[in-house]
Structure formats: C-alpha cells, structure tokens
C-alpha cells in the first residue's frame, strides 16, 4: 500500500457497507463526479466489504452514475460481511487494492462501517467515512442521510393508522426501526401526533402507558397511537410482584449487532391482557429503507460525498465527513467509533408534552 503522506494523486475506491438506505446512489454519484472533476481515478467495490475481500472491483466514470440521484438502494450493492473475521482478511484486502493501485477508500455506511474504516486505518489502509443510516445514530454528525426519508415514511404510516384507529376505537402500535436508538420513533412520533413514544433511551413502564390510554378515554378519545422503536425497553410493572424488562434480541449479524424486531407484538399481548380495548400492532420493517430519497437526503448525501473526495485529494484520511449545524466538516474516526449518538433529552421532551 502506498504511504498516504506521500501520495499526491490518490486512486480511490468507494464502498457502500451495511444495510441499504435512500440516498446511497446520490452519494456515489457525488463522489464519482467530484473525483472526475479533480482528475482522480475511482473504482467501485461491489457488495460492500465482501467485494473488497473477494476482489469484485470495477472502474467508475460519470456515465455510470448518470440519472441515479433519485434512485433508492445502491448500484454497488452492499452486505454485512466482515472481512476481518476471515482467514488472512487484511492480506487479501491489501492484495486486491494493490491490483488496482487503490490507495484510499471512501466508505459509506453507519456506525458499523465507520468502525470497520477505523480498523482498516489501523492496518495501514487509508479510509474516509461518509455517514449514512436511517437510524441517525452515528456520533459526530447532526444527521445522517437516509434518516429523513425513513422518518417521512414512518410519519405517513402513522397518518394512515390514525384514521383506522379512530374509526374502530383501537389502540394502534407502530414499530419502527432505529436499532439501539429512538431517533426515527421520536421524530415520526412527534410529526404524526403519537400519544406515546417508546424508545431504547427511556425505560417506559407499562403502567404509565395504560394511564395514557385510560386518560384519553376519559377525555372522550377512545383510540390511541403508540410508536415504538424496535429496541425499546418496557417495564412490565402491572399484575406482577416483580417488575421485569421486556426486550426482543434475536441473535447477531456479522458486525455483532443484535437482530431486533417484534416488540410491538409483545406489547400488543400485554395491553390486551389489561385493557378492554382492541389492540393492533404493525411492524413497518424494511419499507423504511426503500424507495426514492427525500430532497433533503439527496442534498445531504451529495454535500457529504463532495467533501469526502476533497479530503482524499488532500490525503486527509482517517476521518469522517459530518454535518454540524448547516456546515459540512470532518472529524477523526477515532472519535466517531467511541459511542452511539442517542436521542437527546430536549427533543424527547417535545414529544412528551403531547403524551395522552
């Protein structure tokens, strides 16, 4: 691998890692077009870090990314494959990069991809990170692209469930993604007028939830909308001598992330046992990841992509581009990987004002 401090004309590789989300193609387009404008050669790595391990790499030019700014998914493909867990993983990666003379990687992904980028840096492979994830949980950036689109989709779902809940006097529970943070639940819950928002950052007692529903009934509102994040913590403190915490971990993926989902169904069972009301749950699932990105996500992805290439041109690697305020800046990957960005108290309190 060429020494990054001596490389004045970097040859770039671009990877989309982890789960897909709206805006990836907009970022790829920005990176390729900016690289072309600066006279830099760029290669696309197919199927995420799996392609880096297997040597599935092809050169990209502006024609390859024409017309993709509005398209969901990623033209490069992605995976949750972790090459560092494979025999001679680093050696194979370096061999494949050397074959194409790639000396700088631009990795687009969430906190798992940023952690991978940091690890590759430690093995002498220069990397720059671009934060994307519908979860909005990457430390150091105010927003990740993909988040705005997911919130818009979840908000529309709440709007649609609202009419059904009111027509049938039902408690409607909507489960959204977010992994270990409640950004999607909080933002969509506020925007959709939810009566309660349950997130991983706040343990929510079942007794409190029942109070909200019963208070609404006394007010003449015989329906309720509950938005719950997939890793929400619910304290089962009704009809039991010893309160217990309800969670739903379901194994791990290649990055060591817990596989989550189904907590809304467990909550539905609990509420049915204690309330004489109809209760229905809906898991929004992968719908949140699909389709065209919003205008906000297209612009953010484009801005981040351009600055990432500018950093590469200056050989400023080991960093992640980030949105702070309304400015695109960059921060060291060593800071990014230390912790998740959790929902802050201020924004959650906005939602609490309207509970019940």
Residues classed as catalytic: 135
Half-sphere exposure of 356 (CA within 13 A, CB side): 13
Cβ neighbour number for residue 234 with a 10 Å cutoff: 21
Backbone phi, psi, residue 310, to 5°: -60, -40
Cα 270 from Cα 198, distance rounded (Å) = 15
Cα 339 from Cα 322, distance rounded (Å) = 15
- What sections of 89-248 are H helices per DSSP? 89-99, 111-122, 147-168, 183-192, 206-218
Contacts of 327 (CB under 8 A, 6+ apart): none
Burial class of 273 by CB neighbour count within 10 A (0 to 12, 13 to 18, 19+):
exposed
Inter-axis angle of helices 206-218 and 263-274, to 10 degrees?
A: 60
Burial class of 345 by CB neighbour count within 10 A (0 to 12, 13 to 18, 19+):
exposed
3-state class of 280 per DSSP? strand
């Amino acid at each position: 691998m060429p020494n990054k401090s001596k490389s004045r004309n970097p040859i770039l590789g671009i990877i989309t890692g982890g789960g897909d989300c709206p805006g990836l193609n907009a970022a790829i387009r920005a990176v390729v077009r900016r690289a072309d404008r600066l006279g830099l050669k760029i290669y696309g790595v197919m199927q995420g870090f799996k392609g880096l391990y297997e040597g599935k790499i092809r050169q990209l030019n502006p024609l390859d990314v024409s017309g993709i700014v509005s398209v969901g998914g990623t033209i490069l493909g992605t995976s949750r494959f972790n090459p560092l867990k494979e025999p001679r993983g680093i050696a194979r990666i370096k061999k494949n990069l050397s074959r194409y003379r790639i000396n700088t990687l631009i990795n687009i992904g969430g906190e798992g991809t940023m952690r991978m980028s940091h690890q590759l840096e430690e093995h002498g492979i220069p990397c720059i990170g671009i934060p994307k994830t519908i979860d909005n949980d990457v430390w150091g950036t105010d927003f990740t692209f993909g988040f705005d689109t997911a919130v818009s989709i979840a908000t529309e779902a709440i709007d649609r469930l609202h009419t059904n809940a009111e027509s049938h006097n039902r408690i409607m529970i909507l489960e959204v993604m977010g992994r270990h943070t409640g950004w999607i639940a909080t933002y969509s819950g506020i925007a959709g007028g939810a009566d309660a928002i349950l997130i991983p950052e706040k343990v929510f007692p079942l007794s409190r939830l029942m109070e909200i529903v019963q208070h609404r009934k006394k007010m003449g509102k015989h329906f309720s909308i509950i938005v719950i994040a997939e890793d929400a913590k619910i304290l089962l403190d009704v009809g039991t001598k010893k309160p217990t915490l309800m969670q739903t971990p379901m194994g791990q993926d290649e990055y060591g992330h817990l596989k989550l989902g189904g907590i809304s169904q467990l909550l539905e069972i609990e509420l049915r046992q204690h309330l004489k009301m109809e209760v229905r749950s809906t898991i929004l699932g992968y719908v949140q990841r699909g389709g065209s990105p919003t205008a906000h996500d297209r612009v953010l992805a484009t801005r981040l992509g351009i600055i990432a290439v500018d950093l590469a041109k200056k050989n400023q690697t080991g960093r992640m581009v980030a949105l702070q305020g309304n400015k695109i800046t960059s921060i060291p990957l060593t800071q990014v990987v230390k912790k998740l960005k959790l929902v802050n108290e201020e924004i959650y309190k906005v939602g609490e004002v309207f509970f019940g």
